[in-house]
């Protein structure tokens, strides 16, 4: 059965690996109930690690009625955990132990432990089927915890070993619990609507105490509260609600407790407002603050502006005016018979966090700041990607072929269903850093530009992920058709090769891909002696690599015969050298090798060629063609269209004909890539290189950006991305076509303007939602001055909502050759 769940921020974006595989979680923070031996101690329970004997294994066989074994992780601070991953013990083929099932327990304070249950109340999670695949499970509902325990469960006596990872982000709200009266049930036309808090994890006796639940699970309810976002649960599921008859004082009091004293900016309460069913936003809220031990005497009071016409569910923002508190008690006054809340979030002292890169949000002027009322604002407040996920929990297997097949199916099924998505962003919620761990290489906003490992340089065109709705790993599938077949080598399967003579007899573990390269079987690139490279200039850098402009001496000898003749004999050749730092992690190395493998197979006049590699020793390098005029973006921005203006300013010009020639070449290169079912993912003028006589070669294949792996969390070029890439993480040739439309637009604007330059990143993402909804509210890029109607029509077809309605690169190429470009001459001359 398909279960739909709507994911809001932070659940949508908050899926970073928390550091078992990346090493940010220290050994001493990983413990266990027992260990079978020193070499299977808790610290070996890291996902994707092969150290020790390859996993954590408890001392004794796990029995069906003996479920006391656990692997425990201390995250050192509260985290919002949305996803867990498990793997068995493979140990290079020696191990074959894994957990078929497991449970999760968590704790915020280390003393009270709570058993996780899914939305249907089930505790047991399906685990692994073999010792090597990684199985990821969404936690629905997500949990807020500092400590997490994985407890293997079996139905028969068996040896169990586990490697695990947690995914999520730091819990910036700092909310540790809310205490509230129990939600009630409403009788509506004879049937019941249950407005209880069904995922509350505290005590539920006469009231809810010491827990968190639906008000913090990241899921906002719909306008019609009787319809749930979560499938196969009861009506009213998303809301917690109360009736005025049960509250003679006229208000419901909710107390919020926090991890420490904080300086509060605001509180956002997502309220239903279905007046026709006697449900309405609260009339007034009065909040008391407690710092240290005493409650402040004078409370803060706020009344939202009435909505006379609008009955949409929405966030009401209450300005908390920088009160300092470790607990807040709010009395929400009824304005109708019912009051229904689905989410409450708090914004506090971001100064405590390193948010230097975060955009500063305008301060609310006063308590009388009205509620966020327009639809868009609700969307913004309601936060991001409402995407129906197949949740009966999708198993993702990182063994890529299997993985991709499964994902394809999942995505198709999802797209077949009627989707409604809304999205938006709330940046301040996601600016955080691992203050507790300075070495952390994961998620700090400050570090982010260097952290999201990109081998290519970061430019302003890339959107920081933490400010962006993101990607659900379930849908980070690459193509409807199989992509160029390439399996990512796994170090477990690394061949051990003795490279005598090259390295002085050291033994290196070299993954399978490298072997292909070395044996020269199907890839025709050769190892180039590093010493023949002369450094000229740094072209760019990322955390794990740099791109240098170099002169290569005697390159001709190393080049594939096919394109040897492009270069004059004897002269040093200018080349771009992309270099992976020697301290790059395993994933970065594997992706780098994968990119080499793919690039080595691409042979087209409009695609940058891989000339040679240096992979016998670190740092790994790939040597590609360099084009003398740099990238198309900076090339065009230094030029002007032909005409009076250019004559006056004496600037170099490019004729319309040549613009078209360049665009046609890009279409041709893309036609070639698409014929291989290869998805570029990052087509833009900045990734096209310009040679002599306006020749163009497409470069920067996005392979290095492994979209799933968390330490590769994507840095996304949202202004070039199709709606489905942004909302569903779906990258296909059709999304490349979309990006081509944007690239064409850039070209006709001489790259003088960024796409959607008048929109903020948040608005771009909102606009993406409009493309998805397709209610004619989406904003298209405007027709550039130079652009004839025929060519603009080509662009518009690239931005059609349905991927099937977009043209293929073949059609685009044909159109550019045939008419679009020529028409301009007829018109303009
Ligand atoms: C909430 O109400 C539903 C429907 O009656 C019930 O099945 C569920 O157990 C209740 N949950 C709690 C936590 O009371
Ligand atoms: C709370 O934060 C605001 C803005 O950062 C600051 O002006 C104010 O002094 C802070 N209040 C306290 C008590 O630190
Ligand atoms: C509850 O609200 C309804 C509708 O506004 C009102 O008629 C009724 O008097 C209220 N009851 C109490 C006890 O305040
Ligand atoms: C911010 O980060 C810097 C180093 O990156 C650290 O020294 C500083 O203490 C951090 N600030 C806070 C408030 O944690």
- Higher pLDDT residue, 777 or 587? 777
How does residue 748 score in pLDDT terms, banded at 50, 70 and 90?
Answer: very high
Ligand positioned closest to the Cα atom of 182: 1
Q: Report in angstroms the alpha-carbon separations of 754 from 649, 655, 681.
A: 23, 21, 18
- The mean pLDDT of the chain is 75
Ligand 2 pocket mutation, candidates 264, 292, 349, criterion most atoms within 8 A of CB: 349
Above pLDDT 90, what percent of the chain?
A: 35
Question: From start to end of 564-694, where are the E strands?
Answer: 573-580, 610-614, 621-625, 640-641, 653-654, 688-690
Q: What are phi and psi of 709, to 5 degrees?
A: -50, 130
Q: Quick one: 632-821 is in which CATH superfamily?
A: Transferase(Phosphotransferase) domain 1 (1.10.510.10)
- Cα-based distances in Å from 373 to 274, 760, 766: 15, 20, 16
pLDDT digits (tens, 9 = 90+) for 244-302: 999 999 999 999 999 888 999 999 999 999 999 999 999 999 999 998 778 888 899 99
Ligand 2 atom with the shortest distance to the CA of 322: 1
Side-chain half-sphere CA neighbours of 460 within 13 A: 6
Strand ranges inside 511-593, DSSP E: 526-527, 533-542, 545-552, 573-580
CB-count burial class (<10 Å; 0-12, 13-18, 19+) for 210: middle
pLDDT interval class at 821 (50, 70, 90): low
pLDDT at residue 432 in the model: 27
Residues in contact with ligand 3 by the CB-under-6-Å rule are 244-245, 336-337
- Taking CA 756 as the corner, what is the angle to CA 754 and CA 758, rounded to the nearest 5 degrees? 100
Of the ranges 66-80, 117-131, 608-622, which one carries the lowest mean pLDDT score? 608-622
Q: Which atom of ligand 2 is nearest to the CA of 324?
A: 13
Q: What pLDDT, on a 0 to 100 scale, did the predictor assign at position 454?
A: 22
Q: Which of 460-474, 535-549, 634-648 has the lowest mean pLDDT?
A: 460-474
Ligand 4 midpoint to CA 171 (Å): 18
Pick the CATH number of 175-350 from 2.60.120.1190, 3.40.50.1010, 3.20.20.60, 2.40.110.10: 2.60.120.1190
Is residue 787 over pLDDT 60?
yes
Is the per-residue pLDDT at 736 higher than 90? yes
Domain boundaries defined on the chain = 16-170, 175-350, 524-626, 632-821
Q: According to the model, what pLDDT value does residue 350 have?
A: 54
Lowest mean pLDDT among 162-166, 285-289, 420-424, 717-721: 420-424
Q: Tell me what pLDDT residue 543 has.
A: 63
Residue 638, pLDDT > 80, answer yes
Contacts of 562 (CB under 8 A, 6+ apart): 603
- Mean pLDDT (whole number) for 90-112: 91
> Rounded to the nearest whole angstrom, what is the distance from the C-alpha of residue 453 to the centroid of ligand 1?
45
What DSSP character marks residue 588? Answer: H
- Residues near 596 by Cβ (< 8 Å), separated by ≥ 6? 513, 517, 523, 525, 610, 613, 615, 622
Atom of ligand 3 nearest to the CA of 243: 1
Q: How far apart are CA 144 and CA 611, in angstroms?
A: 50
**Which residues approach ligand 1 with their CB closer than 6 A?**
194, 196, 198, 204, 234
pLDDT at 742 exceeding the cut of 60:
yes
Report domain 524-626's class.
alpha beta
Question: Which residues sit with their C-beta closer than 6 Å to ligand 4?
Answer: 352, 354, 435, 446
Q: Above 90 in pLDDT, residue 663? A: yes
Cis peptide before 496 (omega within 30 of 0): no
CB-side exposure of 742: number of CA atoms within 13 Å?
29
CATH of domain 16-170: 2.60.120.260
Q: Is-same-fold flag (16-170; 175-350)? A: yes
Q: How confident is the model at residue 530 (pLDDT cuts 50, 70, 90)?
A: confident
- pLDDT by residue (tens digit) across 175-186? 999 999 999 989
Per-residue pLDDT tens over the stretch 46-58:
998 888 899 999 9
CA distances from 238 to 182, 218, 283, 374, 759 (A): 14, 10, 21, 22, 33
- What pLDDT score was predicted for residue 427? 28
The ligand with the least distance to the CA atom of 350 is 2
Instruction: Report the predicted TM-score, pTM, of the whole model to 2 decimal places.
Output: 0.49
351 lines ligand 2 (CB under 6 A): yes
For residue 283, the ligand closest to its alpha carbon is: 3
For helices 656-675 and 821-828, the axis angle rounded to 10 degrees is 170
Mean pLDDT, to the nearest integer, of 8-29? 79
Per-residue pLDDT at 542: 64
Cα–Cα distance for residue pair 551/422, rounded to 1 Å = 50
Residue 539 confidence (pLDDT): 74
| Residue 352 pLDDT | 46
pLDDT at position 378 over 60: no
* Phi, psi torsion values for 663, nearest 5 degrees: -60, -40
633 CA from centroid of ligand 1 (Å):
58
Is residue 279 within 8 A of residue 241, CB to CB? The reply is yes
Taking alpha carbons only, the member of 73, 83, 51, 87 closest to residue 160 is 87
The pLDDT score that the predictor gives to residue 246 is 94
440 alpha carbon, closest ligand:
4
- Gyration radius of the chain's alpha carbons: 29
Residue 473 has pLDDT above 60, yes or no: no
The answer to whether 69 and 27 are in contact (CB under 8 A) is: no
Give the pairing of strands 135-153 and 16-17.
Answer: unpaired
Lowest mean pLDDT among 73-77, 210-214, 264-268, 557-561: 557-561
Q: Mean pLDDT, to the nearest integer, of 729-756?
A: 92
Please report the atom of ligand 1 found closest to the CA of residue 200. Answer: 13
The catalytic position among 29, 217, 682, 761 is 682
Exposure string (b/e) for 478-494, b if CB count within 10 Å is 16 or more? bbbeebbebebbbeeeb
More confident position, 569 or 510: 569
Residue nearest to atom 4 of ligand 2 (CA): 322
Could you confirm whether 682 is annotated as catalytic? yes
């Amino acid at each position: 059965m398909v279960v739909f769940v709507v994911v809001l921020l932070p659940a949508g974006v908050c899926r970073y690996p928390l550091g078992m595989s990346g090493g940010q979680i220290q050994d001493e923070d990983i413990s266990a109930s027992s260990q079978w031996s020193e070499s299977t101690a808790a610290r070996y329970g890291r996902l994707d690690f092969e150290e020790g004997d390859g996993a954590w294994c408890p001392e004794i066989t796990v029995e069906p009625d003996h479920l006391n074994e656990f692997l425990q992780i201390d995250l050192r601070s509260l985290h919002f955990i949305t996803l867990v991953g498990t793997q068995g013990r493979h140990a290079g083929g020696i191990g074959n132990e894994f957990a078929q099932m497991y449970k999760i327990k968590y704790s915020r304070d280390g003393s009270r432990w709570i058993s996780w249950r899914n939305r249907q109340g089930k505790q047991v999670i399906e685990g692994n089927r073999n010792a090597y695949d990684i199985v990821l499970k969404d936690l629905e509902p997500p949990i807020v915890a500092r400590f997490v325990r994985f407890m293997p469960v079996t139905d028969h006596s068996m040896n169990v070993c586990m490697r695990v990872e947690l995914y999520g982000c730091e819990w910036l709200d700092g909310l540790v619990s809310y205490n509230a009266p129990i939600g009630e049930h409403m009788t509506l036309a004879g049937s019941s609507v249950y407005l209880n808090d069904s995922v509350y994890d505290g005590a539920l006796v006469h009231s809810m105490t010491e827990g968190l639940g639906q008000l913090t699970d990241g899921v906002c309810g719909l306008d019609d509260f009787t319809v749930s976002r979560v499938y196969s649960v009861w009506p009213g599921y998303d809301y917690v609600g109360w009736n005025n008859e049960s509250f003679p004082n006229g208000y419901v009091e909710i107390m919020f407790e926090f991890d420490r004293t904080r300086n509060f900016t605001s509180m956002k309460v997502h309220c239903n407002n279905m007046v026709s069913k006697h449900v309405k936003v609260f009339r007034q809220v009065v909040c008391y603050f407690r710092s240290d031990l005493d409650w402040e005497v004078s409370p803060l009071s706020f009344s939202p502006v009435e909505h006379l016409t609008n009955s949409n569910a929405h966030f009401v923002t209450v300005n908390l005016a920088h009160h300092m508190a470790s607990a807040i008690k709010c009395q929400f006054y009824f304005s109708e018979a019912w009051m229904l809340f689905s989410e409450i979030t708090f914004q506090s002292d971001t100064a405590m966090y390193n948010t230097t890169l975060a955009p500063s949000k305008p301060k609310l002027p006063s308590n009388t700041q009205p509620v966020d009322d327009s639809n868009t604002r609700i969307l913004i407040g309601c936060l991001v990607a409402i995407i129906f996920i197949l949740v009966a929990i999708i198993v993702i297997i990182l063994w890529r072929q299997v993985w991709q097949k499964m994902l394809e199916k999942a995505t198709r099924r999802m797209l077949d269903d009627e989707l409604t998505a809304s999205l938006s962003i709330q940046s301040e919620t996601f600016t955080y850093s691992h203050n507790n761990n300075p070495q952390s290489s994961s998620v700090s906003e400050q570090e982010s530009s260097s952290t999201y490992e990109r081998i290519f340089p970061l430019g302003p065109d890339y959107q920081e992920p933490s400010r962006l709705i993101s990607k659900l790993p379930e849908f980070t599938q690459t193509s409807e058709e199989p992509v160029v077949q390439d399996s990512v080598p796994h170090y477990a399967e690394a061949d051990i090769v003795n490279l005598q003579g090259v390295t002085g007899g050291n033994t290196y573990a070299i993954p399978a891909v490298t072997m292909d390269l070395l044996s020269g079987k199907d890839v025709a690139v050769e190892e180039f002696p590093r010493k023949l490279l002369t450094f000229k200039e740094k072209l760019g850098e990322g955390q794990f690599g740099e791109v240098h402009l170099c002169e290569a001496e005697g390159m001709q000898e190393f080049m594939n015969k096919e394109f040897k003749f492009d270069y004059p004999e004897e002269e040093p050749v200018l080349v771009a050298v992309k270099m992976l730092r020697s301290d790059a992690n395993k994933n970065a190395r594997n992706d780098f090798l994968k990119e080499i493998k793919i690039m080595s197979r691409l042979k087209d006049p409009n695609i940058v060629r891989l000339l040679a590699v240096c992979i016998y020793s670190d740092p790994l390098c790939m040597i590609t063609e360099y084009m003398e005029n740099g990238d198309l973006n900076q090339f065009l921005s230094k030029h002007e269209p032909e005409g009076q203006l250019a004559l006056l300013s004496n600037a170099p010009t490019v004729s319309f004909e040549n613009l078209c020639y360049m665009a046609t070449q890009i279409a041709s290169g893309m036609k070639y890539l698409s014929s291989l079912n290869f998805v570029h993912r990052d087509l833009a003028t900045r990734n096209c290189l310009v040679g002599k006589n306006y020749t163009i070669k497409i470069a920067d294949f996005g392979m290095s950006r492994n979209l799933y792996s968390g330490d590769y969390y994507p840095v996304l070029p949202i202004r070039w991305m199709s709606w489905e890439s942004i909302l569903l993480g779906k990258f296909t040739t059709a999304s490349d076509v979309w990006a081509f439309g944007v690239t064409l637009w850039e070209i006709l604007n001489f790259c003088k303007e960024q796409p959607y330059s008048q929109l903020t990143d948040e608005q771009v993402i909102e606009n993406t939602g409009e493309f998805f909804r397709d209610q004619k509210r989406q904003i298209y890029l405007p027709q550039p001055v130079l652009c004839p109607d025929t060519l603009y029509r080509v662009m518009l077809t690239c931005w059609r909502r349905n991927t099937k309605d977009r043209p293929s690169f073949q059609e685009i190429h044909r159109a550019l050759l045939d008419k679009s470009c020529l028409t301009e001459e007829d018109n303009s001359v």
